Amino acid sequence: MRLLTQLLAPKAIAHAHCDLPCGVYDPAQARIEAESVKAIIEKYNANEDPAFRTRAIAIKEERSDLVKHHLWVLWTDYFKPPHFEKYPQLNQLFNEATKLAGAGGTKGSTDVAVANSLLAKIDEIAKVFWETKQA
């Protein structure tokens, strides 16, 4: 189904992200990493082997970093002044979302509830993102 929407998606809903800029942005990049972080936390809590847990924590650190990076790119590169005027909550949304992927969030915690909060925050951002795309 995902594949279909991908193939059928009108160019207007293209995804962009590089800093040429190529103009392709997609909150899915941050969400995929955040889903990975959540899965890692679930596997961490289900496995007491020290070696496995060490790997889980190290990988969770990297994946959380990727979540922060993809969100920062959207905040700085995709969103423009008019967006911030229309969505005054955007700055706080991004600051809270990136904090939720940091030391006070999924990096420092092994509580799946924290990963869920991060995912929810990313979905709030994605909702605004796709609204601006439809506009």
Interface residues toward a copy of itself, by CB under 8 A: 1-3, 5-7, 9, 13-24, 26-29, 31-32, 35-37, 39-40, 43, 50-59, 61-63, 65, 68, 72, 75-77, 79, 84, 91-92, 95, 98-99, 102-103, 107-108, 110, 123, 126-127, 129-130
- To the nearest whole angstrom, how small is the minimum distance from the Cβ of residue 9 to a copy of itself? 6
Three-class SS state of 132: helix
- Number of Cα atoms under 13 Å in the Cβ half of residue 3: 0
Q: For residue 85, what are its two tokens?
A: 């005027």
Closest CB 15 distance from a copy of itself, rounded Å: 5
10 Å Cβ neighbour count for 94? 18
Provide the phi-psi class of 10: left if phi over 0, else alpha when psi is between -120 and 50, else beta. beta
Closer residue to a copy of itself, CB minimum distance, 86 or 95: 95
